[in-house]
Amino acid sequence: MGLSSKFQNISLIFVFVLLFTSCDFINPDEKIPSYIKIDTFLLQGSSSSQGPYNHSITDAWINVNGDFIGVFELPALAPVLHTGNSDIIIKPGIKNNGIAASRITYPFYTNYTIDTALDAEGILLINPVVAYKEETIFDWEENFEDIGISIDTSITSNVGIGDSIVNGSHVARVVLNDSDDIFRAQTVDYYNFPTAGSPLYLEMDYKINNSFIVGLYINNSNQFLEQPVIYLNPTDKWKKIYIDLTYFSSMNNSASLYYVFFKANKTDSTDRSVILFDNLRLLHF
């Protein structure tokens, strides 16, 4: 056998060995995931807040052993490439300003942590329990359960704030028709907001068949500025919204005080407009 034939045989053997061994690199053994199943979050009460403690937590931000696993819309079944004893951190996520494309972890809720074992192909069911962080400041709360309320209509409003009972609780009720078609109201008290980007939110539950505006009256250099913040569209079911006011407080560092306002004009699309809202909570650090 000539030298060329020997080299050809050696080359063929090398190619076969390379092909077989490279399969392990191209198709390595896949890890079998474990799973974390989350149906919903539970929100505990706070000694510094009057409640009720409903929420609209829509997402779970999951970390396992320091690795960020992902953001999962609830109910969620999250695959995790970790097994054995694991340190799990779950952060509650919301739709900022009710916008599905703007999902964040809510800064005022605590994280849920657990140290437990994860089994390959096993499903760990967790319903995380969270609460408001201890450092949260509740500047204003109104749940319409007391005789007096902390919102008053303005002189330009031809509609007052009524009352309804929903699931055994009092809620604010505003009815608009062809003759009574303008609603204007604001907080009785004013508030000093944090600056420098510190989180500031207004929580609110609502059910409306008419557009509804929430905004701020800002006293800046002895001039009141009217700043609409959000325009709420009609909904046939109760919703909870987290209204982000951080930008407006940060952009008005010289402002001395703020009022929260609510506005609605009857639309032509309905003969009788009904606006229901409840559980107002203004909070920051």
**Bridge partners, 170 (sequence order):** 165
CB 174 within 8 Å of CB 183? yes
Cα gap 51→216, rounded to integer Å: 23
Cβ within 8 Å of residue 20, ≥6 positions away: none
Domains of the chain, first to last? 34-130 (2.60.40), 137-284 (2.60.120.200)
Cα gap 242→201, rounded to integer Å: 6
Look at phi and psi of residue 135 and say left if phi exceeds 0, alpha if psi is from -120 to 50, else beta.
Answer: alpha
**Residue-level pLDDT at 224:** 87
Cα gap 102→82, rounded to integer Å: 29
Look at phi and psi of residue 65 and say left if phi exceeds 0, alpha if psi is from -120 to 50, else beta.
Answer: left
47, two tokens: 């000694």
Q: Degrees (nearest 5) of the Cα angle 167, 185, 263?
A: 85
CB 137 within 8 Å of CB 273? no
Look at the pTM and tell me if it is higher than 0.75.
yes
CB 79 within 8 Å of CB 70? no
Tens-digit pLDDT string for the chain (285 aa): 554 554 455 454 444 444 545 555 555 567 899 999 999 999 998 888 888 899 999 999 999 999 999 999 999 999 999 999 999 999 999 999 999 999 999 999 999 999 999 999 999 999 999 999 999 999 999 999 999 999 999 999 999 999 999 999 999 999 999 999 999 999 999 999 987 889 999 999 999 999 999 999 999 877 889 999 999 999 999 999 999 999 999 988 788 899 999 999 998 888 899 999 999 999 999
**Residue-level pLDDT at 69:** 98
